[in-house]
A and B are shown apart, each in its own frame.
Chain A
Amino acid sequence: NAGVMQNPRHLVRRRGQEARLRCSPMKGHSHVYWYRQLPEEGLKFMVYLQKENIIDESGMPKERFSAEFPKEGPSILRIQQVVRGDSAAYFCASSPQGANSPLHFGNGTRLTVT
């Protein structure tokens, strides 16, 4: 049973470019979460999605960041006009249910903005 798959593993973008991060949840999981991790820090919640719905985006910056989880295909975290401060590891997690079910994480996408 494949785990949570994220790609790319590493992404380098110049300031002002767009970054697209993809996440395929575990088979049978319909709940997807995105977290950001800065060096020496814990994981900060960004957004929680179910198929075609954003459930909670309270951790998403108001500008330049967006997320989707379409009916078909992976969840996408999109960062427009990247800045150096966006450099971080972005982790996706999935669960079969929402509340009280443990999250299973992918290996992350490490974004570097030059």
Chain B
Amino acid sequence: GQQLNQNPQSMFIQEGEDVSMNCTSSSIFNTWLWYKQDPGEGPVLLIALYKAGELTSNGRLTAQFGITRKDSFLNISASIPSDVGIYFCAGQQPASGNTPLVFGKGTRLSVIA
């Protein structure tokens, strides 16, 4: 099935640093979503993107829907310890009817205080 490639797989950063991660695909998507998962919990939606070129912010988080519709990135500014977790991108391909979300394998973020 369709796969999304997330990079990097893991990151170790100092508190206060900015973070950037991305997600790429060989196929076009008409929706990109970014989720965060804390240990023992379900993914929580951070940002949803619906249009190529769209740039959306949610607090210190900013995400963009790539112009080619084959990629998206997520930036976190001024990281804090509670940003620790796994960040997943998810996409939905254009198709008639309902197609399920496809998830990347995640970027594991560790923040060193």
Given the interface pairs A43-B88, A55-B98, A91-B43, the reply to whether A102 lies near B33 with Cβ below 8 Å is yes
CB contacts between A and B, total, < 8 Å = 66
Contacts of B44 in A (CB 8 A): 105
Given the interface pairs A33-B100, A42-B105, A56-B98, the reply to whether A106 lies near B42 with Cβ below 8 Å is yes
- Chain B residue, CB-CB nearest to A34: B100
Instruction: Confirm or deny: B31 has a beta carbon within 8 angstroms of a beta carbon on chain A.
Output: yes
Contacts of B105 in A (CB 8 A): 40-42
Taking the closest CB of chain B, its distance from the CB of A102, in whole angstroms, is 5
Residues 23 to 63 of chain B near chain A (Cβ within 8 Å): 30-31, 33, 35, 40-45, 48, 50
Contacts of B1 in A (CB 8 A): 59
B43 and A48 contacting across the interface, CB-CB below 8 Å: no
A59 CA to B101 CA, complexed, in Å: 12
Taking the closest CB of chain A, its distance from the CB of B91, in whole angstroms, is 11
A11 CA to B96 CA, complexed, in Å: 37
A43 and B40 contacting across the interface, CB-CB below 8 Å: no
Instruction: Confirm or deny: A96 has a beta carbon within 8 angstroms of a beta carbon on chain B.
Output: no
- Chain A residue, CB-CB nearest to B86: A42
B88 and A91 contacting across the interface, CB-CB below 8 Å: no
A102 and B45 contacting across the interface, CB-CB below 8 Å: yes
A and B contact pairs by CB, cutoff 8 A, 22 listed: A31-B98, A33-B100, A35-B103, A40-B105, A41-B106, A42-B4, A42-B88, A42-B104, A42-B105, A43-B88, A43-B90, A44-B103, A45-B101, A56-B100, A91-B43, A100-B50, A103-B45, A103-B90, A103-B101, A105-B42, A105-B44, A108-B42
**A-B CB proximity, top 4 nearest:** A98-B98, A105-B42, A42-B103, A45-B100
Measured CB to CB, the residues of A under 8 A from B are 4, 6, 31, 33, 35, 40-45, 48, 55-56, 58-59, 91, 93, 98-100, 102-108
